[in-house]
Amino acid sequence: MGKIEVETCSIEGLKVITPAVYGDSRGYFMETYNYNDFAAAGIDAVFVQDNQSMSTKGVLRGLHFQINFPQDKLVRVVRGEVFDVAVDLRDGSPTFGKWFGVRLSAENKKQFFIPKHFAHGFYVLSDEAEFCYKCTDFYHPNDEGGLMWNDPEIGIDWPLLADAAPNLSEKDTKWGGLKAYIAGRGDKQ
């Protein structure tokens, strides 16, 4: 029991995990996390905090990261569906500034592992979505960073609903783009 299928992504370090699901007429059972299985798959992370959010259709959260206390994240959806995105911000990475997206839903039960030094965000496709994520460092409110969700330099192909602009928090309307991020770091690239 508890085995997982792990897909590597076009950006090194990102992984999409599909757990084994055991079902019958009564319902189903699955392990959502087993350290041994994840470590065997190359995800040797120690998670210290679990978070959960609920968002309504059209909400876009992100693109977020912590600056001095970066986190690995393991994310999944327990109700509804989202389009989940990670943007590579690793110094010297050949895919710096590139993005990868995956649909996560209660139905497909997929999880997305996002290593440190990636910006992360998601867009809600269903009427409501409950989103869960495990983190390898604690949240530090004064350490938040972010990127503009629609930065043309990054060029994320969000599957936006036709009837409305994304519903953003005030904070998420004020992030700069990739060029501003690089300039703010002293152009280490």
Question: Counting beta carbons within 10 angstroms of the beta carbon of residue 39, is it exposed (0 to 12), middle (13 to 18) or buried (19 or more)?
Answer: exposed
Of 120, 123, 133, 181, which residue is the catalytic one? 133
- Alpha-carbon distance of 178 to 11, in angstroms, equals 17
Q: Is 123 a catalytic residue?
A: no
Q: Who's near 66: CB < 8 A, 6+ residues apart?
A: 137, 139, 140, 143, 144, 145
Task: Give yes or no: 64 in active site.
Answer: yes
CA distance linking residue 119 with residue 181, whole number of Å: 11
Determine which one of 64, 120, 123, 181 is catalytic.
64
Catalytic site residues?
Answer: 64, 133
